[in-house]
Amino acid sequence: MVLQPFPRSTPEEQGIASTSITSFLGAIAEQRLELHSFMLVRNGHVVSEGWWDPYGPDMPHILYSLTKTFMATAIGLAAQEGLLSLEDTAASYFPERLPEQPSERLLRIRVKDLLMMGTGQTGDTIPQGAEDWIAAFFAKPVEAEPGTKFAYHSGASNMLAAILERASGETLDRFLQTRLFGPLGIEGEQWDLLPDGSVPGGYGLRLKTEDIAKLGQLYLQKGIWNGERLLTEQWVSEAIGKQIDNGPNPNPDWASGYGYQIWRCARDNAYRFIGMFNQLCLVLPEHNALVVTTSGLTDEAAVLDAIWEHLVPAMQERAVDRDVEAGRQLAETIGRLGLMPEIESLRVSPGKIMDPVSYKLGENPFGWETFSVESEENRLTLTVQLAGKERQTVSVRPEGWIYGEFEREPIASVGGWKEDGSLYIHTYFVSTPYCRITTFEFEEDRVTLHLTGNVGMPEPVVIQGKRLEGVPATGDAGRD
């Protein structure tokens, strides 16, 4: 039985040597894999957990397609209540959105086909900018018999959310709150909405790391939570089982079968809930364990390989002897987890610069019109005017992260003036995987912004700007 929140335990009490977890974290660091959080649960106990500063345990992190497993769980709950059947056709819920002459295959797409990504459609089923995305989904040709061919697309999951709302009279977020989040003790969830204001089923949910683990533990316990059955054992068995062949793929973890919005793994009868940039809940039923990560990286295989190399072999059936020194080393390793950039000396004061400095920027993908920089006693502040929006500010200091908000997204930033007179600002959008690194290079009355990032900005962006009239120039900023 698992209480809420999870009870904590030492790794050794649950049959795992602390040295194996330290080795896992060392492999993550050596390969420079950008994790934001990590949680290892064994026998219903959290045995190790860590967050890479500036991320923290109380921060919801966007899940992207890991949202799909929560969506599927809602469908399972609705089916249990008799609100819908997996054999229902999608067309029966939206007859008014069908094309004038719907194909027979389109009319045969079932809720079950949507769950297992077997609609028979390929490509993007919801074109960007579609005013009526449900009608756009039905307009997409059905190239294969529903239920026979796997093709991954978020349109299927979003359609499930729309069907759930029609069947239950409740939006997905409200449905989950009363039937799943409440019983699991999940609070503070956030949702990104579709342009029409509807709740998506394929992405958009933001949860804390431990909340992700709760869903994994529910499935690991075959639908039981705190002694109460929330999901039928039949649903869990079908959801985690292979419902459709999802190969071929050179990586066997992506070709071992797909259940109800759940990926089968190639090893240890494992399965996983997964979202873009490696938002991961790996369930290991053979070891009564699960591993949860949030991150900002594209190499999911490297994380899975590290789990199987360092953690899984260490999982013993019984408790192992306590190792005080190994526990101390693990605690120190976790205490040092962080994403602070490796930068040379920075400072708040720009030297001979007369601030604030203000510049007008040329056309750019971020809609930045003007910016100014002002140094204070222990920090400096960047103020950006966005096209048609309120001004945004980012405060930084060289010594550590400053938390704030930018375009309604929580951020953490560090930065300062460099010796060469340039300004360096490193920002994490801490409820997402993204970071943005901006270097401002000043020359007479002009400025050049060089922007790079992690997964959210694979290609550098360069923005040119010119000093606003009547505003002091930067001079030889940063030089004594």
pLDDT, residue 344, reads: 79
CB atoms within 10 A of CB 364: 16
Which residue's structure tokens are 């769950």? 115
What span, in angstroms and rounded, lies between the C-alpha atoms of 440 and 424? 7
- pLDDT tier, 480 (very low <50, low <70, confident <90, very high otherwise): very low
**Pairing state between β 61-62 and 461-467:** unpaired
pLDDT, residue 345, reads: 84
Name every residue whose Cβ is closer than 8 Å to that of residue 280 and which is 6 or more positions away in sequence.
66, 272, 273, 274, 291, 292, 293, 294, 295, 300, 303
Say yes or no to pLDDT of 4 above 90: no
Tell me the per-residue pLDDT of 393-434, one tens digit each, with 9 for 90 and over: 999 999 999 999 999 999 999 999 998 889 999 999 999 999
CA 29 to chain centre: 20
What span, in angstroms and rounded, lies between the C-alpha atoms of 131 and 116? 26
Tell me the per-residue pLDDT of 52-68, one tens digit each, with 9 for 90 and over: 999 999 999 999 999 99
What torsion do the CA atoms of 475, 478, 479, 480 make, to the nearest 10 degrees? 110
What is Dmax (Cα atoms) for the chain? 77
Per this entry, what is the length of the chain? 480
**C-beta separation of 57 from 212 below 8 A:** no
Please tell me whether the overall predicted TM-score, pTM, comes out greater than 0.85 for this model.
Answer: yes
**C-beta separation of 257 from 264 below 8 A:** yes
Tell me the per-residue pLDDT of 295-341, one tens digit each, with 9 for 90 and over: 999 989 999 999 999 999 999 999 999 999 999 999 999 999 999 99
Cis, bond preceding 458 (omega within 30 deg of 0): no
Which of 67, 69, 68, 118 has its CA nearest to residue 90?
118
What span, in angstroms and rounded, lies between the C-alpha atoms of 421 and 423? 7
Say yes or no to pLDDT of 271 above 90: yes
Average pLDDT over every residue of 252-271: 97
CA 126 to chain centre: 21
Name the token pair of 256.
């071992």
What span, in angstroms and rounded, lies between the C-alpha atoms of 178 and 357? 52
What span, in angstroms and rounded, lies between the C-alpha atoms of 280 and 285? 16
Say yes or no to pLDDT of 473 above 90: no
The three-state secondary structure class of 462 is strand
Question: Which strands form 35-42's sheet, in the order they lie side by side?
Answer: 45-51, 35-42, 289-295, 279-284, 271-275, 263-264
Name every residue whose Cβ is closer than 8 Å to that of residue 314 and which is 6 or more positions away in sequence.
16, 17, 20, 21
Query: Domains of the chain, with CATH numbers?
Result: 12-335 (3.40.710.10), 357-467 (2.40.128.20)
- pLDDT tier, 124 (very low <50, low <70, confident <90, very high otherwise): confident
Average pLDDT over every residue of 73-95: 98
Amino acid, res. 153: H
Residue ranges of alpha helices (H) inside 298-425 are 300-306, 324-335
Q: Phi, psi at residue 42, to the nearest 5°?
A: -135, 130
Q: What percent of the chain has pLDDT over 70?
A: 95
Tell me the per-residue pLDDT of 194-211, one tens digit each, with 9 for 90 and over: 999 999 999 999 999 999
**What is the dihedral sign for C-alpha 207, 210, 212, 214?**
negative
What span, in angstroms and rounded, lies between the C-alpha atoms of 298 and 309? 19
Which of 64, 306, 341 has its CA nearest to residue 205?
64
pLDDT, residue 355, reads: 56
